[in-house]
């Protein structure tokens, strides 16, 4: 089933608590990318993190006891999400996508 809507609203309304075995979240990363009318940029990192905490909190409530959560995020946002999640569930691993940034490499500093 595909449900189109605001994640926070849809997750609360459509998904039963403790019913989900796998959550895979690929949210906006707060890096200024445009998706149609939506621009992936919050006024401050903290505001972005607070928004993530809202939907992550719901995701954790929806997970069954043996459920797993995979969360994609940017290098910049990872500390906020990692610290928050560590207080609430067991983080088993951090998977790093090693790729060549589509040929756009940083020349004057270390890239991600």
Ligand X SMILES: C[S@@+](CC[C@H](N)C(=O)[O-])C[C@H]1O[C@@H](n2cnc3c(N)ncnc32)[C@H](O)[C@@H]1O
- How far apart are CB 3 and ligand X at their closest, in Å? 10
Q: Among 11, 28, 71, 81, which residue interacts with ligand X (rule: CB under 6 A)?
A: 28
Find all residues with CB under 8 Å of 45, minimum gap 6, and list them: 30, 76, 77, 80
Q: Among 3, 6, 19, 32, which residue interacts with ligand X (rule: CB under 6 A)?
A: 6
Q: Please list every residue from 31 through 50 that binds ligand X, using CB under 6 A.
A: 35, 38
- How far apart are CB 38 and ligand X at their closest, in Å? 4
User: Between 24 and 109, whose beta carbon lies closer to ligand X?
Assistant: 24
User: Between 96 and 109, whose beta carbon lies closer to ligand X?
Assistant: 96
* Beta pairing partners, 34: 39
Positive or negative CA dihedral for 83, 87, 88, 89? positive
Q: Which stretch binds ligand X (CB under 6 A): 27-35, 41-49, 62-70, 74-82?
A: 27-35
Q: What is d(CA 77, CA 83) in angstroms, rounded to the nearest whole number? A: 11
Q: How far apart are the first and last CA of the chain?
A: 35
């Amino acid at each position: 089933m595909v449900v189109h809507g605001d994640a926070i609203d849809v997750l609360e309304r459509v998904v039963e608590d403790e019913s989900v075995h796998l959550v895979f979240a690929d949210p906006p990363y707060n890096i200024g990318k445009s998706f149609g009318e939506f621009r992936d940029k919050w006024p401050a990192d903290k505001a972005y993190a607070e928004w993530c905490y809202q939907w992550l909190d719901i995701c954790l409530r929806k997970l069954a006891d043996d459920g797993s959560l995979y969360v994609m995020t940017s290098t910049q946002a990872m500390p906020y999400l990692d610290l928050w999640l560590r207080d609430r569930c067991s983080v088993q691993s951090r998977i790093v996508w090693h790729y060549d940034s589509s040929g756009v490499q940083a020349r004057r500093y270390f890239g991600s």
